[in-house]
Structure 1
Amino acid sequence: MQSVSETVARALTRHVEKFFCLMGNGNAYFIDALERLGVPPIPVRHESGTVASADAYYRMTREVAVATATYGAGFTNTLTSLAESSLAKMPLVLVVGSAPTAGPRPLDIDQTMTAASMDVPTYTVGVQDAGTVTIQALADAIENSRPVVLAIPYDLAPELIGERGEIIPDLPEPTRLPSPDHIEAARIAHHLADAERPLILAGRGAIGARSDLLALAETLGADVVTTVPTQGYFSVPARRPTNFRDLGVCGGFSAPGALREIRRADVVFVVGAGLNQFTMAFGTAFSDDARVVQVGDTEEPTHSRVDQYCRADAADAVGLIHDKILQLGVSGRTPVVSPTSEEAQWRTEGDEQAPDGRLDPRRVMSRLNDLLPEDRVVFTDGGHFMQWPLTYLKVNEPDSHVTVGTQFQSIGLGFASAAGVLAASGERLPVLVSGDGGGLMGIADAETFVRTTRRGVVVFLNDAGYGAEVHQYAARGLAPEPMLIPDVDFAGIFRALGAKGDTVRTLADLRDFEQWIAAEEGGIYVLDCRITNSVRADWIIETVEEARRAAPHVEEMLGMDTSSWNPSGAAGGGRGTNGDRGSAHEVGGRHLHA
């Protein structure tokens, strides 16, 4: 006979390879069962890291992972990560302890209701159905692409069960998407064939259609872009000529020159991309006159901007559409090059140092892009600083740029997702880029990064503040003091954990790091880059403009004079600076650094 916990573990290990854990009273027997089955879970130091790591692992591998935490405080500590996974539609299973079958104790909360508030269903196992319910939960996560909670009542965790409870059914095959409609495919083919400046946007749902979409781009002579997680989708060996232009990331994280080219498209073919606020740059990514066609797996198009929608498997749809375009006699058209597109699309703006003496983050990221090996995985925390690694730090394969937290607009999940990224990285170099605010919030799992990484890099873009708040609210005249953080010695913190670390105030301070990279030394190298807060990210500019459009009366009610606030001013050498608000180290008329 075996216990409820062992049955749950046996059911999950049939289909899942990676487990991320933090042990407590409610999941101790489950974790012990995993150990005894020879599938030891990877321990993290904060419960948020169990879910964030399972989430990150799926983003990189498309394989479901399991997170586990105890009941009560352990469960509530997972909620920010769980909300992110729910909004991002990431399938995972969170195994938690729950109240005893006799009823809740004083320390118990309604975990089922709490999870349901985030559209996360809860499955509770019993002595007669532990194996069956576990498979039902896993099937739900896979079929509906969402996180689920699998609860083990506290008193049942060690309970022995009979043969009925040990039954573990087969995992059902997922439902296939419908075949693409031939008439719909023909209409899309005609639109693309007639386009003067076609643009193809590939998202994570287009991974299975990669060869077909590359061939379609060649046929059309199209411009191509991706969502952030799909960077590198259109990469081909340098020796192979291509008949399309790769403009990089679409939307708020586009390079300036690329963004202008994206807005010249007359037909945009979107495959497997959800068209969230970042990809759409709050609705400004495409020309108002552009026709937007989407292929996806949802019942309806994912954005009001979509003019034509085809629900189908991406590979089936793209292959059929390509065939119909070839039947129309279209093949090997030369890409249309604008007069302005001769400029370097990845030109890095700004000087090395801003007028306040701190580094321009665009220059830092551009230099690190050159120094770091191409075979890398980049994962970021959330925050204002995200603009710089997502725009300037390139990857050459899709699913190599991970941003856990963006859907829920959370910070603090960079280190929390580290164990999952590391488990999926293989031989690629893991590079975490974090702000100082999010880094401090998630610092518990800095130890996880150091402990579980054979070789890795951590980059802090340290502007001594919560940048998103500084650029949205200090710029409007709100008191900046609550938005500021005294300079933290992140290099010193990591040296105490056994890593190498440097404080970077000039690009020349990267010399030792460059030698470390060239020597291919093992261990962790931490760069605490002291950057200016005088350069405003494009996605923040778009966020502020969207807020103004949605509630134009707010600033008038607050009595704020924003007439001189110029989000796209040229001070500091590029876009997204403070313009004529004063010297580059001032925001809202107040000095932000001593």
Structure 2
Amino acid sequence: MTPDSSLPTVSTAVADVLAARTDHLFGLMGNGNAHLISHLTSAGFGFTSARHEAATVTMADAYHRATGRVGAATTTYGAGFTNTYTALAEARLARIPLVLVVGDAPTTGARPFDIDQTGAAAAVGVTTLIATPANAAAITHRAFDLAARTVQPVVLAIPYDCATAALTEPVDLEPLPAKEAWQPGPEELDRIAGLLRTADRPLILAGRGVLLAGATTELAELGDRLGALFMTSVMAVGAVDSPWNLGIAGGFTRDHRLATARQADLVLVAGASLNAFQSRYGTLFAEGTRMIRIDNEPAEAMAHPAVTDYLRADLQVALAGLLARTPAADPARTWRAGAPEVAGETYRSSAPIEDPAEYGPDGRLNPRAVVAALEDILPRQRSVVMDGGHFIGWAPMYLTVPDPQAMVLVGTAFQSIGLGFGAAAGVSVARPERTTVFVTGDGGGLMGLADLETFLRATARGVIVVLNDSAYGAELHQYAAKGLDPTAMLIDEVDFAALGRAMGAAGTKATTLADLTALTDWLDTHDEGVFVLDVAISQQVVAEFMTASLTAGKRL
């Protein structure tokens, strides 16, 4: 008997809630989600199809990073689900709220090709909810609410035999418990404010938590009253619009700004992870620097050897409390007065003072010089998206962005490569008014090549920059340098510009800085389309973050 297509089903109920909770779905159709997708696309709902399931999740991930809204993705069951696994792990570790709707085994029992998807998701810390005829709409709302509340991905599974099942009498779900608020004690605020006021060279490090808490105004004013300098995490880049902002903290910190940061005698860390990369493997600040940390997680979960004082509190409340206890310092007696060069044009320039040479020792282009030149060539209204890999060391150092949501790195939390084309496509959908600049290496670019077509299809105006060293650079610098055989670390030269042209893009291979004029000319004459700039960079130029990790005895 053919089901009555006019009756609401589990798939159509889930689809209707998706349409109410987001404005776009990223997916790849299969047996487990065909009815869901068809219901949405037949009504004209925004849908972008990936060419590999991993990109469904990376597009949704990047969509969140670019907009702040919960992303949504869908795949079928089995292989469709497992193909998302690396991207799902990245979203979990990066704390990205998204809902992944997947098909699943029938409620009557697993088929030979079914796996325990709930267990697999749990293995990377992701919760799975099950849609049934009795809860389809409510559980979909719950998935979005839970993702937003926990700032984590959530899987919503539709068992195969439920996909076209008619809805039954709905059951009520237990409400989510109220989110606990952490109010700082007046005595603790008095103590922390006193430490801030008596510091000679205070620095405030702002992380993504400040953005999530809506506390950027309080943080910036607190810094101004103290005459402090600022730094941010990469996910909060530009959160503090101040000439006293030293930029991104950690492996992406410019050398001259690192020297300044190490002069701080007190650091207030607000909503930042202080992971090894962000702390530059323990070398970002001078040994013995007093470090105060404010976050709303338990102290044991936020333990860090460099932190001397921890305040568990909601960030906006805590920063407002500190602001109320902090009168404006005498400007002439602040750190800013003693370091006026920080706000100067030369200090804030993108000039690659670390190494301005055009070429590396092997005669290929110096990536620092290339990316610094791109700062002035690329449109100001841009989103910069990066895959993972050794090449990420340069774009965050030299390329500025309009706001924190315009710097998107997908893959770094899980230390993966190959997720970039999907991430860039998600950003193009999320922010079509901006030029999407996708920066990748050749290794990750080749791994994710299936979704080059997705990026070209989804992007109104974009530039792909391939920093192509014909190698897996991270492995080359960590292991070939120690005498291991480099054979498996090397990649035969690939012309990504030619690949792009074969698929309808424009592009060129750059072997000199003068070759960048091809991109300049294209941008001057094209308001839409994609340009692929394949840059032959040196294998012998090592990114600062890599040098810091190797010096600290760490392998990435």
Instruction: Answer yes or no: same fold by TM over 0.5.
Output: yes
Q: Which amino acid aligns with 1:497?
A: M
1:477 to partner: Cα distance: 0.7
1:275 to partner: Cα distance: 1.4
| Aligned residue runs from structure 1 range 328-347, under 5 A | 330=329, 332=331, 334=334, 335-337=336-338, 344=347, 346-347=350-351
2:549·2:555 contact (CA, 8 Å) conserved in 1?
Answer: no
Aligned equivalent of 2:193, options 185, 189, 192? 189
| Aligned residue runs from structure 1 range 249-398, under 5 A | 249-300=248-299, 301=302, 303-326=304-327, 330=329, 332=331, 334=334, 335-337=336-338, 344=347, 346-348=350-352, 349-398=355-404
Q: Which amino acid aligns with 1:222?
A: A
1:173 to partner: Cα distance: 9.2
1:197·1:336 contact (CA, 8 Å) conserved in 2?
Answer: no
**What fraction of aligned residue pairs are identical, expressed as a percent?**
45
Q: Which residue of 2 aligns with 1:95?
A: 101
Q: Distance in 2 between matches of 1:483 and 1:410?
A: 16
SS in 2 for 1:94: strand
Q: TM-score, normalised by structure 2?
A: 0.92
SS in 1 for 2:247: strand
Which range is displaced more, 122-131 or 465-474?
122-131
1:58·1:91 contact (CA, 8 Å) conserved in 2?
Answer: yes
| Aligned residue runs from structure 1 range 187-586, under 5 A | 187-207=191-211, 208-235=214-241, 245-300=244-299, 301=302, 303-326=304-327, 330=329, 332=331, 334=334, 335-337=336-338, 344=347, 346-348=350-352, 349-519=355-525, 521-547=527-553
2:134·2:170 contact (CA, 8 Å) conserved in 1?
Answer: yes
1:213 to partner: Cα distance: 1.8
Determine if the alignment matches structure 1 residue 30 to structure 2 residue 46: no
Closer, same or farther: CA 100–76 of 1 in aligned 2, 3 Å: same
SS in 2 for 1:247: strand
Q: Which amino acid aligns with 2:276?
A: Q
1:548 to partner: Cα distance: 5.7
Q: Which residue of 1 aligns with 2:125?
A: 119
1:21·1:67 contact (CA, 8 Å) conserved in 2?
Answer: yes
SS in 1 for 2:269: strand
Which range is displaced more, 79-88 or 214-223?
214-223
Give runs of ≥4 in structure 1 deviating > 6 Å: 169-174, 339-343
1:171 to partner: Cα distance: 8.5
1:466 to partner: Cα distance: 0.2
Q: Distance in 2 between matches of 1:145 and 1:139?
A: 10
Q: Which amino acid aligns with 1:269?
A: L
SS in 1 for 2:326: helix
1:126 to partner: Cα distance: 1.6
Q: Which amino acid aligns with 2:253?
A: S
Q: Which residue of 2 aligns with 1:578?
A: none
Q: TM-score, normalised by structure 1?
A: 0.87
Q: Which amino acid aligns with 2:443?
A: G
Q: Distance in 2 between matches of 1:477 and 1:330?
A: 55
1:38 to partner: Cα distance: 4.0
SS in 2 for 1:470: helix
Aligned equivalent of 2:10, options 4, 21, 36? 4
SS in 2 for 1:5: helix
Deviations 1:440-477 (A, max 9, x none): 00111111111111111110000000000000001011
Deviations 1:387-413 (A, max 9, x none): 011111111311211111101000011
Q: Distance in 1 between matches of 2:389 and 2:555?
A: 22
SS in 2 for 1:2: coil
1:135·1:170 contact (CA, 8 Å) conserved in 2?
Answer: no
Q: Distance in 2 between matches of 1:493 and 1:229?
A: 31
SS in 2 for 1:164: coil
Deviations 1:166-207 (A, max 9, x none): x8x798697263233322222221111111111111111112
1:22·1:68 contact (CA, 8 Å) conserved in 2?
Answer: yes
Q: Distance in 2 between matches of 1:174 and 1:203?
A: 25
Q: Distance in 2 between matches of 1:50 and 1:304?
A: 38
Q: Which amino acid aligns with 2:186?
A: H
Q: Which amino acid aligns with 1:249?
A: I
1:517 to partner: Cα distance: 2.3
1:142·1:174 contact (CA, 8 Å) conserved in 2?
Answer: no
1:347 to partner: Cα distance: 4.3
Q: Which amino acid aligns with 2:118?
A: T
Q: Which amino acid aligns with 2:120?
A: T
1:44·1:419 contact (CA, 8 Å) conserved in 2?
Answer: no
Determine if the alignment matches structure 1 residue 83 to structure 2 residue 89: yes
Unmatched runs of 5 consecutive residues or more in structure 2: 1-6
Q: Which residue of 2 aligns with 1:154?
A: 160
Q: Which residue of 2 aligns with 1:565?
A: none
1:159 to partner: Cα distance: 1.0
Aligned equivalent of 1:177, options 164, 174, 181? 181
Unmatched runs of 5 consecutive residues or more in structure 1: 237-241, 551-594
Q: Which amino acid aligns with 2:201?
A: R
1:252 to partner: Cα distance: 0.9
- Cα RMSD of the aligned pairs, angstroms, is 2.2
1:418 to partner: Cα distance: 2.0
**Alignment length (residue pairs):** 539
Q: Distance in 2 between matches of 1:365 and 1:53?
A: 25
Q: Distance in 2 between matches of 1:20 and 1:299?
A: 35
Q: Which residue of 2 aligns with 1:71?
A: 77
Which range is displaced more, 441-450 or 155-164?
155-164
Q: Distance in 1 between matches of 2:114 and 2:539?
A: 44
